[in-house]
A and B are shown apart, each in its own frame.
Chain A
Amino acid sequence: SQTIHQWPATLVQPVGSPLSLECTVEGTSNPNLYWYRQAAGRGLQLLFYSVGIGQISSEVPQNLSASRPQDRQFILSSKKLLLSDSGFYLCAWNIYGRTSGNTIYFGEGSWLTVV
């Protein structure tokens, strides 16, 4: 069966510090990968998605970036965090096709507080 893991689960970072959140998927190949952010009490905002290694689409211009160095690895980064980057970050994956119905599955999430 397929599983998705992301880490760290919780982190507190000072303004201006770098960020690296990592996500890996197991049990499948060539998944679509996604990074979402959820600010407190708000909906899901799609940040980045990737349909293959090295292919990254950005939805919102900001100081965050994403990379996909391997088929099942997705990394969210920032060189300098802003206070507004605080939130709950969710990695997700799906497989295109009628069998899967594009169903998207989420990781456990990472709570980021920028202070």
Chain B
Amino acid sequence: AQKVTQAQTEISVVEKEDVTLDCVYETRDTTYYLFWYKQPPSGELVFLIRRNSFDEQNEISGRYSWNFQKSTSSFNFTITASQVVDSAVYFCALSEAQRDDKIIFGKGTRLHILP
């Protein structure tokens, strides 16, 4: 069965520090997709990144980077030089590549960036 675990419930760091949000997943499929979403205080979930199971290349987008490691079933998210605007709840999610499969979300990590 699918499962996504975000063990960090809440994290607080001082602005400009780097912070890594952990995500561990479980799936029996060989083809699947992993996602990260950001939920700012306004509530709307914003899509950040998708990774498919065949592509283990790490990705960098500005201050954001993602480390996908199939060997440890992890898809961690790092924010470099954090800013107050990064304060939000971040969700990791998993989807197996079937037509009617659901997207399974982790419980989220609430990130506080302190000025």
B44→A109 contact, CB < 8 A: yes
- Interface residue stretch chosen among B12-20, B58-66, B75-83, B92-100: B92-100
B residues with CB within 8 A of A: 33, 35, 37, 43-47, 50, 52, 91, 93, 95, 97, 99-103, 105-108
A43-B105, A51-B100 given; A103·B43 CB < 8 A: no
Kindly provide the distance from the CB of B21 to the nearest chain A CB, expressed in whole angstroms.
Answer: 14
Chain A interface residue count, CB cutoff 8 Å, equals: 26
Residues of B within 8 A of A104 (CB): 35, 47, 93, 95, 103
For the complex, give the distance between the alpha carbons of A22 and B22 in Å: 34
A105→B95 contact, CB < 8 A: no
B102→A103 contact, CB < 8 A: no
A49-B102, A51-B100, A101-B33 given; A90·B50 CB < 8 A: no
